[in-house]
Amino acid sequence: MKLAAFLLLISLMSQAILPKDVNIYTSRHYDSDDALYEEFTKETGIKVNIISGKGSALLERIKSEGINSPADIFFTVDAGNLWKVQKEDLFQEIKSTKVISTVPENLRGPNNEWTAIAKRARVVFYNPENVSPEEIQDLTYEDLAKEEWKNRVVIRSSSNMYNQSLVASLIANQGIKNTESWAKKFVNNFARKPQGNDRSQIIAVSNGQADIAVANSYYIGIMLSGSAGEEQLEAAKKVRMHFPNQKDRGVHVNISGAGILKNAPNPDNANLFLEFLISKRVQKYMVDKSFEYPIVEGVLPSPEIASFGLSFKEDDTAVKQFGELNPDAIRLMDRSGWK
């Protein structure tokens, strides 16, 4: 009997010291993330299990799994998507003091239930053959509603979360009334009906279909890297990137981010994984592969992105507001005729 009890104790002790898994549900589409997971396992001995899919599908899966969900971390892009998960009361507070002390408050969710792990700016792309330095020099988002840009602007549809968050940021800074007035004029300046992804907008500017494109900064990095093919590489070489609103609040900045789920079976490992993501070495690897901007000081963006400038003013509007104001943004865009 004593021997059986001893063996049981040894078994329990061995289970306690063996590293558990960390289960990540991700809607990020970067193949380079696979190397991150492998490196985390190599460093910690913690196995990473991945479930990939669209954010909305993963959210529904987490909800249907309930308290039996194996998911530890929800990893996605855009603060608006993280807000949707938090609104369903599916996150828990991040316990890592390293994460909380490293990531600026405006890049974390309410109650520290999610955090940025990288940044992306929603910028303006232009073809210098068609847009003069004087026209672009001090350009703001608000300026894109002016008559001088009539039939010259391309941007993707209002159903796109990136655009919804941009409009939410304008509401946060300008109020609903002023933003709606802007949106109605902005829509009248479209060179074509919204269509395609962000890279489609950049290509439209490169081939002369439009003079201005609004798109996320990291897309030009993907195109310039050559990984998207020769046609996109050549298109990217023709355009320049402009950071709007440099004389006032700064360029609109959104995030890639992650949160620890409420029913996470391995919360300690999940906190360790978030700490891993914000280490300088991993931040450098990430931004070199995803072409986003780092959230850690002292880490440079990829050479492709750095070529457009390392110093620019960022809008420090709390990214949680992009989720809070998302319903207002969607209704406003509908009223303005933004398809």
Closest CA to 21 of 70, 63, 80: 70
pLDDT at residue 7 greater than cutoff 50: no
For residue 316, the Cα-to-chain-centroid distance in whole angstroms is: 15
| pLDDT value at residue 133 | 84
Q: Going by C-beta distance under 8 Å and a sequence separation of 6 or more, which residues neighbour residue 278?
A: 98, 99, 102, 103, 117, 295, 296
**Position 12 pLDDT exceeds 50:** no
Same domain, 278 and 155: no
Number of domains in the chain: 2
Q: What digits encode the pLDDT tens for the residues 63-95?
A: 999 999 999 999 999 999 999 999 999 999 999
Split at pLDDT 50, 70, 90, the class of 310 is confident
Under 8 Å CB-to-CB from 237, ≥6 apart: which residues? Answer: 224
Rounded distance, CA 18 to CA 39, Å?
18
Least confident of 15-19, 74-78, 230-234, 333-337: 15-19
Q: Which residues contact 78 (CB under 8 A, 6 or more apart)?
A: 161, 162, 165, 254, 255, 256, 322
Contact 46, 294 (CB under 8 A): no
In this structure, is residue 11 part of a structural domain?
Answer: no
pTM over 0.75: yes
At 3 the pLDDT is 53
User: Could you give the CA distance from residue 282 to residue 71 in angstroms, rounded to a whole number?
Assistant: 22
Query: Could you tell me if residue 235 is inside a domain?
Result: yes
Q: Are residues 320 and 211 in the same domain?
A: yes
129 and 105 within one domain: no
Confidence of residue 1 (pLDDT cuts 50, 70, 90): very low
At 191, give phi and psi (nearest 5°): -80, -20
Is 331 found in the same domain as 202? yes
| Residue 237: count of CB within 10 angstroms of its CB | 11
The verdict on 137 and 283 lying in the same domain is no
176 in a domain, yes or no?
yes
Residue 5 lies in a domain: no
Find, among 155, 101, 109, the residue nearest to 255 by Cα. 109
244 lies in which domain range? 121-252+314-336
233 and 179 fall within a common domain: yes
* Structural domain contains residue 2: no
Is the pLDDT at 16 greater than 60, yes or no? no
Residue indicated by tokens 């955090």: 115
Shared-domain flag, residues 174 and 210: yes
Q: 3-class secondary structure for the chain? A: CHHHHHHHHHHHHHHHHCCCCEEEEECCCCCCHHHHHHHHHHHHCCCEEEEECCHHHHHHHHHHHHHHCCCCEEEEECHHHHHHHHHCCCECCCCCHHHHHHCCHHHECHHHCCEEEEEEEEEEEECCCCCCHHHHCCCCCHHHHCHHHCCCEECCCCCCHHHHHHHHHHHHHHCHHHHHHHHHHHHCCECCCCCCCHHHHHHHHHCCCCCEEEEECHHHHHHHHCCCCHHHHHHHHCCEEECCCCCCCCECEEEEEEEEECCCCCHHHHHHHHHHHCCHHHHHHHHHHHCCECCCCCCCCCHHHHCCCCCCCECCCCCHHHHHCHHHHHHHHHHHCCC
User: What CATH number does residue 200 fall under?
Assistant: 3.40.190.10
Residues 194 and 289 in one domain: no
**pLDDT over 70 percentage in the chain:** 94
Q: Do 177 and 321 share a domain, yes or no?
A: yes
For residue 14, what pLDDT is reported?
42
Same domain (yes/no): 68, 179: no
155 lies in the same domain as 214? yes
- Judge whether 74 lies within some domain: yes
| pLDDT value for 9 | 44
- Report pLDDT for 5: 53
Co-location of 132 and 239 in the same domain: yes
Q: Is 189 a domain residue?
A: yes
- Taking CA 266 as the corner, what is the angle to CA 262 and CA 272, rounded to the nearest 5 degrees? 100
The residue among 17 and 275 whose pLDDT is bigger is 275
